[in-house]
């Protein structure tokens, strides 16, 4: 084994997992069932799947229509349309878009090694969608095409549009071989077939750590969905909970052996159920099969809360090992089987991922009623943005505690902000005290609170500011109402 590569997980973590996250704890059992319900509520229905299949057929017919062929440069023609992404797996949610790839052919070059850029095809399709809007409804059997956008300067150029409100991302390829993205979907599909816990975790992690960013520069707070799935597979392989299917079933998932388009055909039973029954039965007999979804979620959290591990190591999906990064160009480095350009490159940093997972593991190790809601608030309220924030597990404040917090915050504001700023930004100061609940109070002080923080931490350190900081610190030490403190700190 190379000295820069780690192949062995800390087995003692598994040995002590039942003590750390006891499966029989009533609150953890509640979380286990809530996660299963979350998956059921968010997964794609059979009706939605049938509807999307119809849209795929309509798009396929459109791409091969005679009118569209006239827009293509001489020698370019459509071979087929293939599906990848979440729709090609068991991981699609009711909000998932359609990831499609139009596979083109070009007979204008004598040299087979010279390939035209995919953008040629996408530009022609985009031109047709824009300049034939009046007749599009007829071509798509009454389906409405809207929000057409050509993102030509992205790392992977795509044509984005909606068909009856369903988002579609259309890419193009001039390769003679099946797209690797389809084989990646097939591999993920196999893990869903192998272990139902995997599909539940994928649904939750994708919804919980949903990234938002500019589609052009791909800057995101969290890794993209594909990277999250790879990280989940890696940690499950790391602890020997699932096998490395790329190694054990190379004939199914090795892209060098995928020469037939049947290998990426969604209509094929082999694609939807790629694993044989013997493999599944063997997996069912693994000792780790008794681990709950909550325990696996905890393992995922602990694996990626060590920032040094994310900063220094790459996650090798081919071998299942950790190996030292060759460069620090990207915060998250994944050596993927199919994407040679590091799918983790879209995450601009790993700080938020680490902090969100730290709050997740802290929540799991302090069981209480309504844990799923507390976990969802970590990302919905962006609690991960402040790593210095006290525990989010503080008990609900009493009426006396609320009044104490209100009094202390009023003192902070009155001693640091002048009357004119107070008039402009802090309306209804006198109505805070009779507020019925802490959420109502929080809403009343959600204003230009960034100005307050600037005054606290400004270049001029006055005695008044010092007094205000001490008062705020007392609030932190009480650990009574973090929702109110969060609203007070954040803009």
- What tens digit of pLDDT does each residue of 258-313 get? 777 666 666 655 567 888 999 999 998 888 899 999 999 999 999 998 777 888 89
* pLDDT of the residue at 41: 93
Is residue 31 classed as helix, strand or coil in its secondary structure?
helix
* pLDDT of the residue at 159: 93
* pLDDT of the residue at 357: 95
Question: What's the whole-model pTM score?
Answer: 0.74
Chain center to CA of 403: 39
* pLDDT of the residue at 96: 86
Helices (H), 43-132: 46-63, 66-69, 119-131
Q: Judge whether 372 and 34 are in contact, CB under 8 Å.
A: yes
- What tens digit of pLDDT does each residue of 449-480 get? 333 444 444 444 455 445 545 555 554 444 33
Rounded-to-integer distance, Cα 321 and Cα 241, Å: 14
Residue in 232, 219, 186 with CA at minimum distance from that of residue 345: 219
- What tens digit of pLDDT does each residue of 274-288 get? 889 999 999 988 888
Residues of the chain with pLDDT under 70: 1-12, 108-115, 212-219, 261-271, 386-491
* pLDDT of the residue at 153: 76
Domains and CATH numbers, the chain: 5-42+180-364 (1.10.1410), 46-173 (3.30.460.10), 394-489 (no CATH)
C-alpha distances (whole Å) from 343 to each of 218, 233, 254, 333, 389 are: 11, 14, 18, 8, 31
Rounded-to-integer distance, Cα 245 and Cα 193, Å: 12
What percentage of the chain reaches a pLDDT higher than 70? 70
* pLDDT of the residue at 152: 80
C-alpha distances (whole Å) from 158 to each of 12, 145, 148, 255 are: 46, 16, 11, 23
Bridge partners of 82, per DSSP, are 101
Instruction: Please list, in sequence order, all residues whose beta carbon lies within 8 angstroms of the beta carbon of residue 171, skipping any fewer than 6 positions away.
Output: 99, 100, 101, 102, 118, 122, 156, 157, 158, 159
């Amino acid at each position: 084994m190379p000295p820069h590569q780690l192949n062995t997980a800390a087995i003692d973590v598994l040995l002590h997992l039942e003590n750390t996250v006891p499966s029989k704890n009533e609150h953890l059992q509640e979380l286990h069932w809530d996660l299963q319900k979350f998956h059921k509520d968010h997964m794609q229905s059979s009706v939605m799947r049938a509807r999307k299949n119809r849209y795929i057929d309509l798009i396929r017919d459109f791409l091969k229509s005679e009118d569209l062929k006239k827009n293509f440069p001489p020698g370019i023609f459509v071979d087929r349309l293939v599906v990848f992404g979440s729709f090609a797996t068991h991981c699609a949610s009711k909000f998932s878009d359609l990831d499609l790839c139009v596979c083109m052919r070009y007979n204008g070059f004598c040299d087979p090694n010279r390939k035209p850029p995919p953008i040629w095809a996408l530009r022609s399709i985009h031109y047709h969608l824009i300049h034939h809007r009046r007749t599009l409804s007829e071509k798509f059997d009454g389906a409405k095409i809207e929000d057409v956008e050509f993102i030509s300067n992205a790392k992977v150029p795509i044509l984005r549009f909606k068909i009856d409100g369903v988002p579609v991302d259309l890419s193009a390829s001039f390769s003679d071989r099946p797209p690797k993205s389809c084989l990646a979907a097939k591999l993920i599909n196999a893990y869903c077939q192998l272990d139902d816990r995997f599909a539940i975790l994928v649904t939750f992690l994708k919804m919980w750590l949903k990234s938002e960013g500019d589609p052009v520069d791909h800057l995101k707070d969290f890794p993209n969905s594909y990277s999250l799935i790879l990280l989940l597979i890696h940690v499950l392989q790391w602890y020997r909970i699932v096998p490395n299917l790329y190694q054990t079933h190379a004939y199914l998932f090795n892209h060098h052996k995928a020469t037939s388009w049947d290998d990426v055909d969604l209509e094929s039973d082999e694609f939807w159920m790629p694993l044989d029954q013997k493999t599944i039965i063997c997996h069912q007999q693994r000792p780790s099969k008794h681990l709950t979804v909550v325990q696996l979620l905890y393992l995922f959290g602990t694996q990626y809360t060590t920032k040094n591990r994310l900063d220094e190591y790459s996650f090798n999906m081919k071998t299942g090992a950790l190996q030292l990064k060759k460069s620090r160009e990207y915060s998250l480095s994944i050596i993927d089987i199919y994407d040679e350009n590091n799918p983790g490159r879209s995450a601009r940093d790993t700080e938020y991922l680490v902090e969100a997972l730290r709050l997740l593991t802290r929540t799991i190790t302090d069981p209480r009623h309504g844990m799923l809601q507390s976990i969802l608030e970590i990302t919905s309220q962006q609690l991960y943005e402040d790593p210095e924030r006290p525990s989010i597990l503080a008990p609900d404040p009493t009426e006396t505690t609320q009044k104490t917090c209100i009094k202390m915050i009023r003192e902070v504001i009155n001693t640091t902000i002048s009357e004119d700023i107070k008039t402009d930004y802090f309306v209804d100061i006198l109505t805070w005290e009779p507020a019925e609940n802490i959420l109502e109070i929080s809403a009343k002080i959600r204003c230009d609170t960034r100005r307050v923080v600037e005054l606290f931490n400004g270049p001029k350190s006055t005695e008044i500011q010092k007094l205000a900081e001490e008062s705020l610190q007392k609030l932190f030490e009480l650990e009574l109402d973090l929702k109110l403190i969060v609203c007070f700190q954040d803009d």
